[in-house]
């Protein structure tokens, strides 16, 4: 009987540990899976707001290609994420649609 109680206690502790790891240590966000078939589901967790803003601007002006300023090209994160996130719209060195970094005051 004592072994059975020990096994049940061990099982309860394991479930509580898994719950703790899942909720507090993993950084998992439930908002990501609430609406998995939505086009914008989880984008705010995947990329920065600047990259999302670049996509919104490109869609607004129905751009077919774009270019980035020298400072934005030097920012490896923004450069790589903007290329991937805006995929159907490609970067073109001769494009007149250029993104610039806004100077922070």
Rounded to the nearest integer, the mean pLDDT of the chain is 85
Question: What's the pLDDT score for residue 90?
Answer: 92
Q: 60 falls in which pLDDT band (50, 70, 90)?
A: very high
β-bridge mates for residue 27, sequence order = none
Q: Are 67 and 97 in contact (CB under 8 A)?
A: yes
Lowest mean pLDDT among 4-8, 25-29, 68-72, 79-83: 25-29
| Residue 104 pLDDT class (50, 70, 90 cuts) | low
pLDDT over 50 at 105, yes or no: no
Is residue 79 a contact partner of residue 73, using CB atoms and an 8 Å limit? yes
Q: What pLDDT, on a 0 to 100 scale, did the predictor assign at position 43?
A: 81
Q: Is the dihedral of CA 56, 67, 48, 36 positive or negative?
A: positive
């Amino acid at each position: 009987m004592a072994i059975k109680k020990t096994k049940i206690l061990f099982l309860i502790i394991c479930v509580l540990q898994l719950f703790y790891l899942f909720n507090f240590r993993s950084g998992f966000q439930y908002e990501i899976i609430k609406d998995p078939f939505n086009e914008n589901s989880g984008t705010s967790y995947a990329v920065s707001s600047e990259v999302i803003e670049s996509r919104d601007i490109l869609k607004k002006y129905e751009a077919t290609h774009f270019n980035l300023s020298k400072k934005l090209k030097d920012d490896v994160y923004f450069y790589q994420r903007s290329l991937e996130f805006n995929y159907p719209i490609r970067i073109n060195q001769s494009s007149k649609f250029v993104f610039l970094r806004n100077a922070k005051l």
